[in-house]
Structure 1
Amino acid sequence: MLAPAQTVLIVDDDEAIRQMLSAFLSKEGLRVVTARDGLEAIEVFRLQRTDVVLLDIRMPRMNGLEAAKAILEMDRGTAVILMTAFAEVCTAVQAIKDGAFDYVIKPFDLEEIRLLVRRALEIRSMRADIVSLRRELSERYGAEGILTDNPKMMDLRQTIAKVARSQATVLIQGESGTGKELVAASVHYGSPRATGPFIRVNCAAIPEGLLESEFFGHEKGAFTGAATRRRGRFEQAEHGTLFLDEIGEISPALQVKLLRVLQEREYERVGGSEPIPADVRIVAATNRDLEAMIREGTFRQDLFFRLNVVALKTIPLRDRPEDIRLLADHFLGRFAADNNVVIRGFDPAALDCMLAYPWPGNVRELVNAVERAVVMSTGNVILRDDLPENIICGERAAFVSELLPDGEAIRPLREMASEFETRVIRLALARNGGNRARTAIQLGISRRALLYKLQEYAIT
């Protein structure tokens, strides 16, 4: 099926000009409609929104400037090109400031008209592609794009959707590999700033001496090697979101400067003296205990308060076992497509290993394990032996290692047994799809006893 032809509206009180432009642009493969004055142009445009409007300025009943204003109020995306006499150029320039695309001076060359209309259509098409891409990003990385069957994660997803609509600074805390960057992206793409850039800075990966320049940019000659002016990440994130990952790694001196930006909403390039407004939303993340760092004197309390306007905490994969299969199936589909292989799913024995494993590296480790399994697989299902060796061998020892990591003190037996029992019940529920009756049978206890333990251990 052919795409509908792009449409141009020609508006001029001179019939000869209307006919000439109509014939010329029709030969270019465009659909053309015409109007004799501004009032008629508005009515035609209301009935059929055109991609481009070629609009004369001097016309009876309503001039082109008034018609352009009315048309752009109906659709800001339409490209309005004004046709004007040389004496009216200043007026046309003002119209461009008010939203018109461009102007052409009469008498004009038809080739000039062709190039101008084509450029307007190309830019309109690019803008449509950008809107479509941003919509896709919003759907993929917005809160709804976070895959989960876990009640706590569903609550987090709802909280992200609420927070995203605000302009508040957000602090995301959680273990490595739990999806802090995905949460940050969800905040951005679900916000009014979604059309702006999402800029990520890994504070732990940048050398200490370059952090300030990386954040704020520098002027030419600010230090040895600064041959040109450089835009920093704050400037790159203008009208968007700046994601500061591993915020706990920045130095005390940079903490002071970041605090100033958050307080005064402006900054200066390294070597510069002119303040630059900071229209940027800050989302920070860390796997470190910032409150403990405050007590140790390595992180500023006032900066913590500025960052911690809205706090979000990611959930370790071991506490959401019902998501292991969901996420594993998702990543399996992705990596199977990437490697051009057909794999139907996981063998039950492989799935049991994955459900029993504590995933200390969280979702990041699961991603790597599934990718490795796809690469190693020689059949149409993932077998137990396709998984990394530590997941196969560690399924039983994992419980003990989780309860008693190296160096951790032994606690009261009842407390440790309760933790172990909670994990076993969660795993059994996950394997039985949340069915409590089947879970009770598998565990060898009555349904009433299971319900009592679910309430005792606050398992949802």
Structure 2
Amino acid sequence: MNALNLLIVDDDLLQARLVKSNLDRPGRIRAEVVGSGQEALERLARDPLDAVLTDLTMPGMDGIELVRRIRDSDPALPVFLMTANATIERAVEGIRAGATEFLPKPVNVTALLTLVERAVADRPLREEVTALQERRAAATAGNMIFGKHPKLDGVRQFILQVARAPDARVLITGESGTGKSLLARAIHDLSDVPGRFIEVNCAALPPQLLESELFGHEKGAFTDAKALKRGLIEAADRGTLLLDEIGTMPLDLQAKLLLFLESREIRRVGGVHPIAVRTRVIAATNEELRERVRQRAFRQDLLYRLDVASVEMPPLRAMPSVIPELAERFVRSLAAELLRPLPELTENSFVALTDYAWPGNARELRNAVERALIFHAGGPLEVCPPAYQDGLGPQAPGFTLEYGLTLEEVERRYLEATLASTDGRELAEVAAELGISRKTLWEKRRRYGL
């Protein structure tokens, strides 16, 4: 672990240097001193710090105002207020301003070290809570599920209805890349629950590890269980657990999940006592679970428990009008992410995209946009689907032929399908595409009555 950088702010520099000398620990704490709130803000603007220890009473900017100014730019930075003569009112004011702790002078160095290290360790959790609060403040179903289409309007309405029932289980179906995890996150953010959103990909973990990850284990439960571990179901208490690719979960673990859904209690691996947990479970899959039930690969009773409220995320090919909208949104977000200037967009920037079926859906579209931005050399941006990038042009509509046809019938049907997809092209172009002369094409049309 790297040494923690601590800033001490006090107009009494002699007192501040005394605190610094007591706090400095090689390899553990590295403290520095400034004499005013303004100096502290200037120091924070130069390089990141792990924590700030500030006096309450200072000329100009006092400690409480410094806390407020720090919170404007960094809501999660640990900031400790210290004073020799604090009143309860001032202590409450300091905590409301965002101070992590209120400490009396003279400072107990041992206690302060413990508080600083604990606050620094807890910072990722505070950042997650702050980010969740910000998302919820701006959250609407409209800005989480993007695109103007009746199918997406139905999805947004579903989110609003389900979010009002924070204990309701949800089953999200849809092809890979359609945004199932984004939908689950939207339900969580709009549900106004205090717990965390945790996502688990059931296909990404081996069965023996998946049980321990979900349910946790007691110390000594198996050879490598050297300490107690809380599972992800516990970690999502009063929050949301997304079980992605639920269809791949082993049958024996399905039984344990079913027991949790029925009782709202879990037992850790190697544990004896039940633990009450209130977690909303959202399951997502790109498989047909009823077919998995028929194959005896998925429990029917578990499907009944999960399928309280279900919704299907539509594929992109079912909403071609959404593709240019979504592509433009990806251009703007990826340009910022890749630190590239926003390229010029014209009516031709996305014209080729609707000719492609997008089997990978929004994920594949995002990759195409990112590829176009990376290799963009100037001028108007043109985003092409993978088929164009491979030099194959737009995907042609296909047709099927059954076995047992004569070669003559095969030729007739192929000509018929080709002529039906000419899109107003000249016969000379169609003949060239078929590798025959215009006269030969004319003769074959007459022969087959086309």
TM-score category by the smaller chain? 0.5 to 0.7
Q: Which TM-score applies when normalising by structure 2?
A: 0.62
Aligned partners of 1:203, 1:149: CA distance in 2, in Å?
Answer: 32
What's the TM-score once normalised by structure 1's chain length?
0.61
The equivalent residue for 1:282 is 281
1:175 and 1:287 in contact (8 A); partners too: yes
Q: Per the alignment, do residues 243 and 24 of structure 1 end up closer, same or farther by CA in structure 2, a change over 3 Å counting?
A: closer
CA deviation after TM superposition for structure 1 residue 399, in Å = 3.3
Distance in 1, matches of 2:342 and 2:286, equals 35
After superposition, where does 1:219-234 map in structure 2 within 5 Å? Answer: 219-234=218-233
Give the structure 2 partner of residue 163 of structure 1: 162
User: Which residue identity is paired with 1:174?
Assistant: G
Instruction: Name the structure 1 match of 2:235.
Output: 236
Is 2:374 the partner of 1:375?
yes
In the alignment, what sits opposite 1:37? none
**In 2, Cα distance between the equivalents of 1:263 and 1:377?**
54
Structure (1/2) with the larger helix percentage: 1
Which residue is equivalent to 1:300?
A: 299
Aligned CA-pair RMSD:
4.4
Once the two structures are superposed, what CA deviation does each residue of 1:295-351 show, in whole Å capped at 9, x if it has no partner?
222211111111111111101001111111111011111222233322434554552
Deviations 1:7-41 (A, max 9, x none): xxxxxxxxxxxxxxxx97244832899xxxxxxxx
* Residue aligning to 2:329: 330
Given that residues 218 and 271 in structure 1 are in contact (C-alpha distance below 8 angstroms), is that contact kept between their aligned partners in structure 2? yes
Matched, 1:135 2:167: no
Note the 1:186-335 alignment, pairs <5 A.
186-193=186-193, 195-335=194-334
Per-residue displacement from partner, 1:163-207 (whole Å, max 9, x unpaired)? 1121211110111110000000001111122x4211110001111
In 2, the alpha carbon distance for the partners of 1:209 and 1:128 equals: 32
Q: Is the 8 A contact 1:259 1:306 kept in 2?
A: yes
* Residue in 1 that maps onto 2:15: none
Q: Which residue in 2 is equivalent to 1:179?
A: 179
For 1:292, the aligned partner's letter is E
Per-residue CA deviation, residues 237-283 of structure 1 (Å, 9 max, x unaligned), is 12211110000101111111000000000111111112111121111
For structure 1, list consecutive stretches of 5 or more residues without a partner in the other structure.
4-22, 34-50, 82-100, 408-412, 425-460
3-state secondary structure, aligned to 2:397: helix
- Pair 1:359-2:358 in alignment: yes
Residue 386 of structure 2 is aligned to residue 388 of structure 1: yes
Specify the code of the residue in structure 1 equivalent to 2:191: S
Q: In 2, are the aligned partners of 1:356 and 1:395 still within 8 Å (CA)?
A: no
Do the aligned residues in 1 keep the contact of 2:56 with 2:62 (CA within 8 Å)? no
Q: Which residue matches 2:61?
A: 29
Over 3 Å counting, the alpha-carbon distance change for 1:24 and 1:311 in structure 2 is closer
Kept in 1, the 8 Å contact 2:172–2:284? The answer is: yes
Is the alpha carbon distance of 1:130 and 1:225 closer, same or farther for their aligned partners in structure 2, counting shifts above 3 Å?
Answer: closer
2:96 aligned to 78, 83, 89, which one? 78
Match of 1:19 in 2: none
Q: Partner residue of 2:428?
A: none
Cα pair 1:344 1:381 within 8 Å, conserved: yes
Which residue identity does 2:209 align to in structure 1? L
Contact in 1 for aligned 2:216/2:268 (Cα 8 Å): yes
Aligned 8 A contact 1:141 1:185 in 2: no
In structure 2, distance between residues paired with 1:208 and 1:242: 18
Equivalent pair of 2:56/2:63 in contact (CA under 8 Å): no
Say which SS state the counterpart of residue 229 (structure 2) adopts.
Answer: coil
Give the 3-state SS of the residue equivalent to 2:205 in structure 1: coil
Q: Is the 8 A contact 1:350 1:382 kept in 2?
A: yes
Match of 1:397 in 2: 395
Contact 1:138 1:186 in 2 (8 A): no
Distance in 2 (CA, whole Å) between partners of 1:243 and 1:255 is 15
Report the identity percentage: 37
**8 Å Cα contact 1:373/1:387 also seen in 2:** no
**1:352 to partner: Cα distance:** 2.2
Post-superposition offset of 1:78? 3.3
Paired with 1:135 and 1:395, the residues of 2 have a C-alpha distance of 46
1:109-124 to 2 correspondences below 5 Å: 109=105
Residues 396 and 26 of structure 1: CA distance in aligned 2, closer, same or farther (over 3 Å): closer
Correspondence list, 1:139-158, <5 A: 143=141, 144-158=143-157
> Counterpart in 2 of 1:428?
none
Partner of 1:12: none
**Residue 132 (structure 1) shift:** 4.8
**Code of the aligned partner of 2:187:** V
Flag the 1:320–1:139 CA change in 2: closer, same or farther, 3 A. farther
Residues 371 and 169 of structure 1: CA distance in aligned 2, closer, same or farther (over 3 Å)? same
Aligned partners of 1:398 and 1:278: how far apart in 2?
Answer: 53
Q: Give the aligned residue type for 1:253.
A: D
Which amino acid is 1:181 matched to? Answer: S
Residue deviations 1:124-152 (CA, integer Å, cap 9, x gap): xx899766522333367752322111121
* Structure 2, unaligned runs of 5 or more: 1-36, 39-54, 66-79, 404-412, 424-450
Written as runs of structure 1 = structure 2, the 5 A alignment for 1:66-105 is 78=96
Are residues 337 and 32 of structure 1, via their aligned partners in 2, closer, same or farther at CA, if it must alter by over 3 Å? closer
Aligned length: 334
Relative to 1, partners in 2 of residues 1:181 and 1:290: Cα closer, same or farther, differing over 3 Å?
same
Partner of 2:19: none
Q: SS of the counterpart of 2:200? A: strand
AA paired with 2:278? D
Which region of structure 1 is more displaced relative to structure 2, 302-311 or 231-240?
231-240
Change (3 A) 1:366 1:381: same
Mapped partners of 1:265, 1:406: distance in 2: 54
Task: Give the residue type in structure 1 aligned to 2:397.
Answer: F
